[in-house]
Structures are given as structure tokens and as C-alpha cells.
Amino acid sequence: MSATLPLRRRLLKGAIAGAALPIAAEFGIPVSLAADGRIVVMGVGGAWGESVKQLIGERFEKQYGVPMALDSRPNAQQVAAIQAMRGKPSVDSVELGGPAFGQATALDLLDDIPATSIPNAGDVPALYKSPKMFGWVVLPLVLGFNTKFVTRTDAEAKGWQVLLDPRLKGRVGIPKFGWQGEMWMNAVNLTMGGTYENLDPVMDFCRKVVRDNGGIIVESADQATKLFNSGEVVAAPFFTGRIYDLIDKGAPLDLVYPKGWLPYITGFCIVKGTPRKDLVEKFINISLAPEVQEAMSRKFYIPTNAKVAATLRSNPRLYIDDATMQRAIKLDFGVIYKYADKNLERYNKEVLS
């Protein structure tokens, strides 16, 4: 992690085209435009990337005769990579959410999405839309736990404090800062009386989880899935859809929505400078189409298309009632971005060291 900070600072402070080429070389990014005849989307790989290709990419190619290529990168690298290719991007779109979206917006790396070019956006509530991103799915980040070690009563009563239970020592997890950790820590911090500028409460909490209770740093959704499935982790923040998938495959898991859970929204953005803006708009429109949204709901992710969501009110896995929403935290990612470097440095020193 130590090498991440100086590079990130250079990118945030040096938004100049002349610095783009040497920085791009550090990431192995080609400076030429994406190959003719295809649309290139940057996003995470693994099972999520496969779903994007299958549910959106295949429909897009069938409808427009243009194949989709996935530029697979971890969440923590995506904004830096786009910044490095500023002015001559080798990708056309990037899937972003949370702090990374706030950072990319502040750095002026994204184009506005014209709502008039996205017919399906009319069925998406304003809550899930911003000028530069139309959310295509909601991923609740909640407390997942193994019912052989944690009772639902305990999980509901203690919430995130379950991660400090000494009986679970060495078998709890928290997300890596560069994955979902920055977002999760800010949400939990606000419930503990902290502020965006002052993360003292959650830094102390995470330090105790990792140092005193043997907490594992979870680096991706695929890794979290494996850890929960193997029993190496029995309690950790995780996405509802992944937890339900494991439950249906026989894993002894359950989940609760504690105070400070996150309705994480992700969507496809237009990378500024792409010559394929019109194709990206069509790609975004397909991501919001009812058939795509319905397919994602079958994977237990919450659709943003209101017409599809209305058909799911009777499904407790996909419908979040008002009382549960009251326990959610809505974060200001534009503010979080301002303190990202400082908080990453603190996390490295105070939690990991």
C-alpha cells in the first residue's frame, strides 16, 4: 500500500496532460485510442465483470453489432488509470461508484450524460442519478455472518461491534481501504460520532478489529465469497447479493442491516475524450433496460429501474422497507475525496502497521 499514496497524490495534484504519458507507462496503459470496432469498458473483473459482459455486453453487441471489451482493474486503480490517459483515453466507459466516482468527478475525468439520449433513465428515480452517472444497480453493504458462530439476535443487537467479539478472533474481516473500506469506514465513523474530516472513532475501531481480534483485510468481493464459503471468515461487511447466493448454495449464513449500512450505487460513466460517446450512451441505456435489471435482481442485486423494483415489493431480499432505510448512511463522496489521502495514510499506519 505504501507505493499507492505518492502516486495518488501526483495524480490528484497534477492534472496536467504533459504528465500523463510517463504516469500511463507506470500502469501499462496504451496511449492510443481503443481498438476500432469495439467499445472498451473499465471495471472490476471476476464474477462481476462476467455479469457485466453477459448481461449488458452481449445485448449491446447483438443490438448494435459492436463487441464490448472489459479493461479489468481493481477499484483502487481505476481513477488513477483514467487520469493517466487523460486527453487520449484507451477506454470509453468506466463503472464507478462511491469515493472513486467522487474523485473522478472532481478531477473532471467524466463527461455529462445527456438524459435525452438515455430513454430508460426516465424510469430511474433521481436518487440514483447524477449528471455524470446513472446508477444501474444498488448493492447493500451489510453485516454478513455465519449462523454457527453468530446468532441473528446478537447481530441485530451489536451491529458492527460483532467484529470485536473475542470468540470470533482471527475469523472476522473488514474491507481493504482501496476496495470498499474507505466507503464503509466513513459510514461507520458517522454512526460513531465522527465526521468526514475526523475518522478517529472508526480508525480506533478498525485497529482493534485487526490488531486485537485478528481481523482479516478482505481485498475483493471474490475473496470475501471464498472466505465466507470456507469458514475462514464468519463475520464481515459484505454485499447482500453475494451473501444470498452463498445461502442458496448451502452456506450457513445470514445478514442484518445494522446502523451505518450502505446502499452502494454503481453505474457506467462516459470517460472524457472518448470518440465513442454515442456508443457509451447506448451501453448505459441497455444497463437500465427492464430485462437487464430483472436479470440482476435474480442475482439478488436491487434494480434502479422503478418499474422493475415495483414488481419486487413482496421479495424481502430485494425490497428495503422504510425502517431499514432509516439505518442507512448516505455519504457525500465529493467531501470524502478531499480527505482520501490523509485517511489512507492513517489507515496504513494505524490499522495495518
pLDDT at 195: 97
Cell of 205: 475501531
Has residue 293 got a pLDDT over 90? yes
Q: Rounded to whole angstroms, how far apart are CA atoms 274 and 88? A: 7
Question: Which amino acid is it at 153?
Answer: T
Does position 19 have pLDDT exceeding 60, yes or no?
no
Percent of the chain with pLDDT over 70: 90
Phi, psi of 19 (to 5 degrees): -85, -10
pLDDT band at 300 (very low <50, low <70, confident <90, very high): confident
- Fill in the DSSP letter of residue 149: T
238 phi, psi to nearest 5 deg: -160, 170
Q: Letter for the amino acid at 122?
A: G
Residue-wise pLDDT for 201-237, tens only, equals: 999 999 999 999 999 999 999 999 999 999 999 999 9
What is the assigned CATH class of domain 142-262+340-352?
alpha beta
pLDDT recorded at residue 242 = 95
Residue 81: beta bridge partners? Answer: none
pLDDT at 275 over 60: yes
**8-state DSSP, 195:** -
- Give ∠ CA 72-333-85 in degrees, rounded to 5: 40
Helix (H, G, I), strand (E, B) or coil at 178: helix
* Residue 320 and residue 302 in contact, taking contact as beta carbons nearer than 8 Å: yes
The Cα–Cα gap between 242 and 299 comes to 8
Q: How far is CA 80 from CA 16, 225, 251, in A?
A: 13, 27, 37
pLDDT at 29: 41
- How far from 21 is each of 8, 76, 260, 330, CA to CA, in Å? 15, 20, 41, 37
What's the pLDDT band for 21 if we cut at 50, 70, 90? Answer: very low
228-268 pLDDT tens trace: 999 999 999 999 999 999 999 999 999 999 999 999 999 99
| In the chain, domain spans | 4-137+264-332, 142-262+340-352
Q: Which candidate, 105, 47, 100, places its Cα nearest to that of 76?
A: 100
Distance CA 11, CA 266 (A): 23
Domains 4-137+264-332 and 142-262+340-352 equal at CATH topology level: yes
Contact 281, 117 (CB under 8 A): yes
Q: Give CATH superfamily name and number for 4-137+264-332.
A: Periplasmic binding protein-like II (3.40.190.10)
- pLDDT tens digit sequence for 58-109: 999 999 999 999 999 988 899 999 999 998 999 999 999 998 999 999 999 9
- pTM summary value: 0.79
Q: How far, in Å, CA of 71 to CA of 40, rounded?
A: 7
Higher pLDDT, 28 or 217: 217
pLDDT by residue (tens digit) across 133-160? 999 999 999 999 999 999 999 999 999 9
**What's the average model confidence in pLDDT over 294-310?**
91
Which pLDDT belongs to residue 36? 63
Contact at 8 Å (CB) between 84 and 99?
no
Predicted confidence (pLDDT) at residue 352 exceeds the cutoff of 60:
yes
